[in-house]
Structure 1
Amino acid sequence: MHDFLQAIALVAAPDVLIAILLSSVYGLVVGSLPGLSATMATALLVPVTFYLSPIAALATIISASAMAIFSGDIPGCLLRIPGTPASAAYTDEAYAMTRKGQAELALGAGLWFSAIGGIVGTLSLVLMAPMLAEMALNFSSFEYFWLAFLGLMCATLVARSSPIKAIASMLLGLLLACVGMENPAGTPRFTLGLTDLLGGIEPIPVLVGVFAVSEVMRACVTPEPPPLPRRRFGSILAGQWRLTREYPKPLIRGNIVGIIIGVLPGAGADMAAWVSYAMSKRFSKTPEKFGTGHPEGLVEAGASNNASLASGWVPSLLFGIPGDTITAIAIGVLYMKGLNPGPTLFTERAPQMYALYLIFIIANIIMIPLGIAMIRIAGLVLRAPRAAVMPVIVLLCAVGAFATGNNLFAVVLVAAFGTLGYVMERNGYPVAALVLGIVMGSMVEQNFVTSLIKSDGSVLPFFERPVSAVLAAITFGALLWPVGVWLWRRASGKDPARAEA
């Protein structure tokens, strides 16, 4: 109790409270700008933390990252342009709800369930840190290969078009992930003699190009749609309690998946959102509604990405192993402030750890009022004429791409992938599967090659290790599930094609 009271005193310090408020507003703004990810928002804060106390420094990292993950949903919902990679999984769903006049419900769901997921993830950090960290340490390259491969299966699950076209898009993404020297052999591949491609193709320019620039190109060649119903965003949370009661299983499942994926080093909120949205569609009673403006996927994925954000701190605090790119930055701040990660951190610096938990909870609570204010401001975009909005979007895309590495080549990549995304969408190939292939491609390859080197070329260890065997069974189950459903329908006489015949 004494340590907890000390933690309250640490968090109640004026500099910490001011840091939470200012970094929250900063995270909301940066996350809502296409191309400026939560990782970038966090990285840009590191120089500021030099001048802050240890608790205030951690408060800026935690608050900004939590807000950025949520606010990435705002441009995705209003303009079909995800602000962060974690929002890309359900951007089409949220945008479809906006076109149906349910923008408030979609944005409110992103806000409400992100806050719930963040609080549940924080509770997991408090209650299950040792157990989850021990589980994560049991994962080797064999398990990570199956986890990444399972993530790739999400491409067929989230696709609204033909599964064949989804797989083709995913394979194109895997091919693009091979570009550069970021491979186990360390040799240039598919660089076309360009030094700018030696570092590979970053996901951010791809994400901005295929979602944002392609949307601008479509706007240039299609007549402006009728204006959306004019509504004041005065009831953002209206209907959220109804969704909570209507979809308790997706909410619980999203939190659990987010916690488990978050604690695995290198996974993070992006994978949690993709996997949760795919699971929501797979286990839904009405999967045919997904992609048409159905909130069920938003409930599960929205809770999952913020839950993974908090649980990603488990291996970071206990062992100094980053759960994702954000906690990798946070580990550097911890060392800089003398809070060296390790089991002794929880015994010798207990008040500071309790303070960290409190900051997580405070950040997710104030996310609701600050998020409502941000949504109301962003809602003005709906009333602006398209001719005024689209040039601003192109400008933000160029600035966001350039900011990823202070490199003009990234702007060229954005334009190239914008054209590719436009062509793919016109022909029914899902661009989300392309992005997933690029994001997961390097993880699949590196863990596969590393595993073969460790096993001297044998594939048996992929199936001999208990956890690896379970993940392999789940992966093959995901592959064979559609075939099994089709065979069952034919055997029971429920196959639509057979019925028509």
Structure 2
Amino acid sequence: MGTWTAIGQAFAMVFEPNTIMVMFAASLFGLFVGAVPGLTATMATALLVPVTFFMPPIPAIAAMVTATAMAIFSGDIPGCLLRIPGTPASAAYTDEAFAMTRKGEAELALGAGLVFSAVGGLFGTAVLIVAAPALANFALNFSSFEYFWLVLLGLTCAVFITSNQPLKGVVTLLLGLLVACVGLGNPAGFPRFTFGNAEMTGGIGMIAMMIGMFAISEIIRFVVDTSPPAELVVEKVGNVMAGQWALAKKYPVQILRGSVLGTAVGALPGAGADIAAWMSYAMSKKFSKEPEKFGTGHVEGIVESGSANNSALAGAWIPALVFGIPGDSITAIVIGVLYMKNMNPGPTLFTTNPQNIYAVFLLFIIANIIMIPLGILCIKVARRILKVPREILMPVILLFCIVGTFAINNTVFEVGVMLVAGIIAYLLEANRFPIAPAILGVVLGGMLEENFITSMIKSNGDMGAFFSRPIALGLAVITLLVWFFPLIMRGLRAMRSGPAAA
């Protein structure tokens, strides 16, 4: 199939009335979920999964892409007006935005979040369009040896990036890998950790587990939360687009820097938009000409972090589409949907069904363009959204979770998995254990084991074969360096302080 033919088919699939309608509905859903404090973009994705069962592949992906892009932006709204971030990705600059609201600049803060989220998203999409096909061509040379090291590197990055306490990250990663071992789905086809339960032989359902970890844990958190509800500082928001062009002219370097950093961080397994936003905000303050203004209601940090968190969304799709390795918890859920729709992630996806890939690129472009008009509309009605009683909202979400999870395989067992996963996720997060490594452990555990066993069979048990191919050797060196980097740095510091002490 020629490139132009594939692009033409992609346009036909994306601009079909059904897909456009799904994108519009998913946009409104994403905006609502992001704007309600405590409901995250990942939760929006998890709640959409049961709905996507009844959709063709492209509308299903359209729902995921648009809902998450909108939710990441609209998380800025309660952060700015209530000082409660709607999503973790907005937490980095919540204090800054709220300080601007106190100064009477809510419109400028919200407008900057909206406009530069869209700009960052389009930048990330451009990198996705360029980098993903090039990487896919490169990945066609990969064998089980390269994939083994790549998965191991992805899991390692998830532990070190997503946690300031790597040991806690290792614990949750091992928990995820343990869950991945359950059932018959291993190279030997031998029942493991099934405890004689027939339901367990099929393994722990990834989608049920995801819904539990991201939706049920939030419901439990709401139930045990005793803090009083926050009060709105402003009752009405004016024209949010005023002054945005002046900001774009004043901070072009910050916009580019945030977009580049966001895309790069998003492409790292397990990192995601929230880490991209925190890193970008810190970088903005470090390189600013006016660092003393940060924290007092200065728009510069919002411009850069807003660009970073949405560009990270597109960046996370690069490893997900090319290698089947999720860049964040959102793409971890998306990978499950891709497998369900027979769009198995990997380099062959780009050669066998290029029209589907072009359609994904188009969906990202459209989602970021329509974000501006729909975002303005969402800001206008923000007061009503923020006043929706959580006592009504949470039981409705719980009901939706139970019905959706039951619909996956029509079994009560999946509902049980969801509830247990939600309780475990709540307890882990309450004790400051990061969830992302556990998710990656579940998604990549089977892939890690399969490539290890395949490689051992091919090499007749010779471990040296894992280092025999140039790409495999390069990935192995990088992985081992990441493992031992803290020890190397500690040794170097000891050597430096030794002579100084003497």
TM-score (norm 1): 0.68
Tell me the residue number matched to 1:428: 432
Indicate which of 267, 271, 275 corresponds to 1:274.
271
Tell me the residue number matched to 1:183: 186
Report the residue type matching 2:147 in the other structure.
Y
Report the residue type matching 1:438 in the other structure.
V
Tell me the residue number matched to 2:54: 44
Report the residue type matching 1:70 in the other structure.
A
Tell me the residue number matched to 2:451: 447
C-alpha separation in 2, matches of 1:410 and 1:75: 31
Shift of 1:460: 1.6
Contact 2:14–2:20, Cα closer than 8 Å, also in 1:
no
Shift of 1:331: 6.7
Query: In 2 relative to 1, CA 302–448 (structure 1 residues): closer, same or farther, beyond 3 Å?
Result: farther
Match runs of 1:490-501 below 5 Å: 490-492=494-496
Identity %: 32
C-alpha separation in 2, matches of 1:210 and 1:345: 33
Indicate which of 247, 252, 274 corresponds to 2:260.
252
Whether 1:94 aligns to 2:90 is yes
Query: In 2 relative to 1, CA 487–141 (structure 1 residues): closer, same or farther, beyond 3 Å?
Result: same
Indicate which of 391, 398, 404 corresponds to 2:402.
398
Tell me the residue number matched to 1:214: 217
Indicate which of 469, 476, 481 corresponds to 1:477.
481
Match runs of 1:78-477 below 5 Å: 92-95=88-91, 97=93, 104=110, 111-124=118-131, 129=133, 131-227=134-230, 229-230=232-233, 241=248, 245-246=253-254, 248-249=256-257, 251-252=259-260, 254-255=262-263, 274=271, 299-300=307-308, 302-307=310-315, 309=317, 361-370=365-374, 373=377, 380-477=384-481
RMSD: 5.0
What is the number of residues matched between the two proteins? 439
Report the residue type matching 1:44 in the other structure.
F
Contact 1:277–1:301, Cα closer than 8 Å, also in 2:
yes
Shift of 1:122: 2.9
Structure 1 stretch displaced more, 19-28 or 364-373? 364-373
Question: What per-residue deviation string (whole Å, max 9, x for no partner) do you get for residues 357-396 of structure 1?
Answer: 7676445433443455467667754333433333233223
Contact 1:157–1:278, Cα closer than 8 Å, also in 2:
no
Tell me the residue number matched to 1:66: 65
Report the residue type matching 2:410 in the other structure.
N
Shift of 1:229: 4.2
Contact 2:129–2:361, Cα closer than 8 Å, also in 1:
yes
Query: In 2 relative to 1, CA 371–279 (structure 1 residues): closer, same or farther, beyond 3 Å?
Result: closer
C-alpha separation in 2, matches of 1:489 and 1:21: 58
Shift of 1:35: 5.6
Report the residue type matching 2:473 in the other structure.
A
Query: In 2 relative to 1, CA 15–486 (structure 1 residues): closer, same or farther, beyond 3 Å?
Result: closer
C-alpha separation in 2, matches of 1:161 and 1:9: 46
Question: What per-residue deviation string (whole Å, max 9, x for no partner) do you get for residues 1-49 of structure 1?
Answer: xx979978995x8993634521311443566564646766655322xx8
Report the residue type matching 1:141 in the other structure.
S
Tell me the residue number matched to 1:85: none
Query: In 2 relative to 1, CA 410–288 (structure 1 residues): closer, same or farther, beyond 3 Å?
Result: farther
Contact 1:41–1:65, Cα closer than 8 Å, also in 2:
no
C-alpha separation in 2, matches of 1:429 and 1:6: 45
C-alpha separation in 1, matches of 2:322 and 2:413: 37
Report the residue type matching 1:245 in the other structure.
V
Structure 1 stretch displaced more, 167-176 or 298-307? 298-307
Question: What per-residue deviation string (whole Å, max 9, x for no partner) do you get for residues 287-319 of structure 1?
Answer: 999xx9x97777556424324648977899xxx
Query: In 2 relative to 1, CA 202–44 (structure 1 residues): closer, same or farther, beyond 3 Å?
Result: same
TM-score (norm 2): 0.68
Query: In 2 relative to 1, CA 8–221 (structure 1 residues): closer, same or farther, beyond 3 Å?
Result: closer
Query: In 2 relative to 1, CA 194–475 (structure 1 residues): closer, same or farther, beyond 3 Å?
Result: same
| Structure 2 unaligned residues grouped into runs of 5+ | 34-42, 80-85, 99-108, 287-294, 296-300, 325-333
Query: In 2 relative to 1, CA 392–375 (structure 1 residues): closer, same or farther, beyond 3 Å?
Result: farther
C-alpha separation in 2, matches of 1:468 and 1:283: 32
Query: In 2 relative to 1, CA 373–299 (structure 1 residues): closer, same or farther, beyond 3 Å?
Result: same
Secondary structure of the equivalent of 2:463?
coil
Contact 1:151–1:274, Cα closer than 8 Å, also in 2:
no
| Structure 1 unaligned residues grouped into runs of 5+ | 50-57, 81-89, 262-270, 317-322, 334-339
C-alpha separation in 2, matches of 1:492 and 1:157: 25
Secondary structure of the equivalent of 1:369?
helix
Shift of 1:174: 1.0
Shift of 1:190: 0.8
Shift of 1:483: 2.6
Query: In 2 relative to 1, CA 414–315 (structure 1 residues): closer, same or farther, beyond 3 Å?
Result: closer
Query: In 2 relative to 1, CA 342–384 (structure 1 residues): closer, same or farther, beyond 3 Å?
Result: closer
Query: In 2 relative to 1, CA 355–399 (structure 1 residues): closer, same or farther, beyond 3 Å?
Result: closer
Query: In 2 relative to 1, CA 304–152 (structure 1 residues): closer, same or farther, beyond 3 Å?
Result: same
C-alpha separation in 2, matches of 1:440 and 1:243: 40
Shift of 1:107: 7.0
C-alpha separation in 2, matches of 1:91 and 1:134: 35
Secondary structure of the equivalent of 2:24?
helix
Shift of 1:416: 0.8
Shift of 1:113: 2.6
Contact 2:122–2:365, Cα closer than 8 Å, also in 1:
no
C-alpha separation in 2, matches of 1:206 and 1:388: 24
